[in-house]
């Protein structure tokens, strides 16, 4: 009898643990889906367009800026989540900006020390990460209202989504403009990466439009249109939900 009672009492605890675990997984899946697709900073929110369009002339520059932005996003979300209970609401935005500025300065010094060529290539757009609305937006909208693990994961996914858009746009522009991929990879990874450049085809004269800001706008428009087409096809495949209206009752009386 005692053994049976122990098993019966343990069974609900296991079920509750499984339910809570699946609930947590669903939360993190939703955060990942929001950052990578549904609420992508570059394709949906259209934030950080200035560096996104200006620096993506090559895949190497796009990866460098994307990694720097993702690192700042993760660290800023972590710090904001840690100090959110100690910062008065009236001064939270200036405090968040100071945290982001300190992180960007640290990343800028690291790139200057270990990837000086990339530092020169990114130029003013590296310190301008401070004013990137993606970072301050996630700090205010998510990190200041959620726990540390969720905030860190949100920063990683939002940064990864931004990095993917940068990489795709940079690869397309470099491929169309120069016929290469990973040109200048040694600026990001060191001298050993100089041989990583892939020559897909050669032009007698480069396609200048793809390398200039107008080409970046056109490429960004195609990416947004491509995402919208996919979203529309997914929505069309989903079954329609019919909502029944109120039932009307007819009163029948006997006619003599």
pLDDT value at 1 more than 60: no
Given a cut of 50, whether residue 58 has pLDDT beyond it is yes
Q: Give pLDDT, residue 70.
A: 96
Report long-range pairs for 244-250 (Cβ below 8 Å, ≥24 apart). none
Q: Which of 157, 143, 202 is nearest to 175 (CA)?
A: 202
Give the CA radius of gyration of the chain: 25
Task: Please state the rounded mean pLDDT for residues 223-234.
Answer: 95
Q: For the segment 170-193, what is each residue's pLDDT rounded down to a tens digit? A: 999 999 998 999 999 988 888 888
Q: What tokens does 48 get?
A: 């950080």
- pTM of this structure: 0.84
Rounded CA-CA distance 84/67 in Å is 25
* 59-64 mean pLDDT: 94
Considering the chain, what is the average pLDDT of its residues?
Answer: 86
Instruction: Output the pLDDT for position 94.
Output: 94
Task: Please work out, in degrees rounded to the nearest 5, the angle formed at the alpha carbon of residue 222 by the alpha carbons of 219 and 227.
Answer: 130
Mean of pLDDT values over 230-254 = 71
Residue 180 pairs in a beta bridge with 199
Q: How far is CA 69 from the centre of its chain?
A: 10
Q: What is the predicted pLDDT for the residue at 227? A: 96
Confidence check: pLDDT of 18 > 80: no
Structure tokens at 36: 């990578």
Whether pLDDT at 226 is above 80? yes
pLDDT-derived band of residue 12, with 50, 70 and 90 as boundaries?
very low
Per DSSP, the residues of 117-151 read HHHHHHGGGTGGGGG-HHHHHHHHHTGGGS-HHHH
**Residue in the structure block whose two tokens are 């947590």:** 24
pLDDT of residue 8: 39
Say how far apart CA 169 and CA 175 lie, in whole Å: 10
Span 76-126, pLDDT tens digits: 999 999 999 999 989 999 999 999 999 999 999 999 999 998 999 898 899
Q: How many residues does the chain have?
A: 256
* pLDDT tens digits, one per residue of 131-179: 888 999 999 999 999 999 999 999 999 999 999 999 999 999 999 998 9
DSSP percent split of the chain into helix, strand, coil, nearest 5: 75, 0, 25
pLDDT tens digits for range 21-36? 788 899 999 999 999 9
Q: Residue 240 is encoded by which pair of tokens?
A: 């329609």
Task: Assess whether pLDDT exceeds 70 at residue 241.
Answer: no
66 vs 119: CA distance, rounded Å:
13
Confidence at residue 37, expressed as pLDDT on a 0 to 100 scale: 95
- pLDDT surpasses 70 at 250: no
């Amino acid at each position: 009898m005692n053994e049976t009672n122990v098993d019966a009492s343990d069974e609900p605890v296991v079920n509750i643990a499984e339910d809570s675990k699946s609930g947590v997984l669903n939360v993190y899946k939703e955060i990942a889906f929001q950052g990578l697709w549904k609420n992508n900073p570059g394709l949906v929110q259209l934030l950080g367009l200035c560096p996104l369009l200006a620096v993506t002339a090559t895949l190497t520059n796009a990866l460098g800026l994307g990694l720097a932005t993702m690192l700042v996003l993760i660290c800023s979300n972590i710090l904001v989540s840690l100090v959110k209970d100690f910062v008065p609401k009236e001064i939270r935005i200036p405090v968040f900006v100071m945290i982001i500025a300190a992180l960007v300065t640290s990343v800028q010094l690291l790139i200057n020390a270990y990837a000086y060529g990339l530092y020169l290539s990114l130029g003013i757009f590296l310190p301008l990460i401070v004013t990137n609305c993606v970072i301050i937006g996630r700090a205010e909208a998510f990190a200041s209202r959620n726990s540390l693990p969720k905030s860190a994961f949100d920063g990683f996914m939002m940064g990864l989504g931004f990095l993917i858009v940068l990489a795709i746009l940079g690869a397309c522009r470099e491929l169309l403009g120069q016929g290469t991929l990973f040109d200048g990879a040694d600026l990001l990874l060191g001298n050993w990466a100089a041989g990583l450049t892939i020559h897909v085809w050669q032009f007698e004269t480069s396609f200048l439009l793809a390398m200039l800001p107008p080409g970046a706008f056109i490429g960004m428009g195609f990416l947004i249109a491509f995402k919208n087409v996919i979203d529309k096809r997914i929505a069309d495949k989903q079954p329609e939900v019919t909502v029944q209206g109120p039932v009307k009752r007819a009163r029948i009386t006997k006619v003599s």
